[in-house]
Every structure is written in structure tokens, then in C-alpha cells.
Amino acid sequence: MSTAATRPLNVILIGFMGCGKTTVGNLLARQLGFQFLDTDQLIVKKAKRPIPVIFEQEGEAGFRALESAILDDLTDCDRSVIATGGGIVTVPENVPKLRQLGLVIWLNPPEDVLYQRIIRNHDRPLVRTENPRQTVHDLLTIRRPLYSNAAHLDVDVSDVTPDEAAYGLAESVRVFFTAPLSPCDTGS
């Protein structure tokens, strides 16, 4: 039987854009003494182009292929908090990879909170659609079951500060990594 000691000590944050993966992830990494990685930043570095240019030149399929390749590059990663792009779960092959990397936490604030955060950031492509509110709703409707399927833990941190969220998540992470490893933890 596997033990918690054989499990990679990583925390993978998933969720919709604006849920706080980068903000909370940086703070959580500091709380745990882990490094912080962001898959979007790793994609930009590998492709040597900004994400909007990748989408423009290669479409979403090209971007998702790069995202999956970055996920493959992280297989030997340990003691990291990894913030992922909001659509990483839309590629079914990515889900077992995420779960094998470590503890997958879905930051899951209510739709209204997400929309208010997204609409304030004019760099987000969603705010440039004809009806950004409907776009957010439609994407969330599709992605919620995907996030739920991928996550070990589903957390709404919208009612606490990022520091409080990181503190609470750090406690959950410590409990997770001291528990025995079960076959469903690895996506097996």
C-alpha cells in the first residue's frame, strides 16, 4: 500500500479566471515554504509569445496543446504550488495528470464574484465579448463539472482575505499530505 510519503508534495490550483489562483497561490506557497509556478507564465516563456498572440496564431487548440506540454514538463515537480489556466480541465487527458501531481484544489467563488473580478480587468478577452456576463455564465456551466471531477477539494474563498484563504488552505494541505494515499487520489 502506498503512503503519503510517496505522493508528490504539490498543490495544484484550478478554477475559473478571477477566482484567485495567482494571488492565493503566491501566498500559499510562502505559507508552505514551496515554490510558486503559474502555467500561463510557463507557456509564455516556452512559446516566447504572449498568450493573446498564441491564441491569434494557433487558436485555442494550439494553446491547449502548449498547456498540456507544460503540464507534462511538471511531472518531476515537488514542493510547489501550481496555478493553472482556467481551461486546463477542458482537455480530458489533463485531469489525471493534475491529480497525479498532488493535491488539486478548486477555488470556487460564486459566479457573481467571478464576474465582478473579471469585468474590472480589461485585459481579459471575456470582457471584450458582446455579452461578457452571458459568456462567463456559459463557460462556468460547461466547466463546473470538469473542475469538480478534477478536484480533491472544492473551496469558496470569496468571503475571506487572500491571506486568510492561504492560511486555511495551508492547513488543509498539511492534513491531506499526512493522510494515507488511496487509489482515487491519483486518478487511478
**Gap between the terminal Cα atoms of the chain:** 14
Residue 23's pLDDT band, with cuts at 50, 70 and 90, is very high
Looking at residue 123, its pLDDT comes to 66
Q: Among 85, 26, 73, which Cα is nearest to 46's?
A: 73
Domain 4-178 in CATH 3.40.50.300? The answer is yes
140 and 113 in contact (C-beta within 8 Å)? no
Is the per-residue pLDDT at 19 higher than 70? Answer: yes
Q: What's the pLDDT score for residue 59? A: 86
Determine the pLDDT at residue 94.
97
- Residue-wise pLDDT for 124-170, tens only, equals 666 678 888 999 999 999 999 999 999 999 999 889 999 999 999 99
- CA-based torsion, 62, 75, 166, 137: positive or negative: positive
Per-domain boundaries in the chain: 4-178
Spatial CB neighbours of 137, under 8 Å, sequence gap ≥ 6 = 111
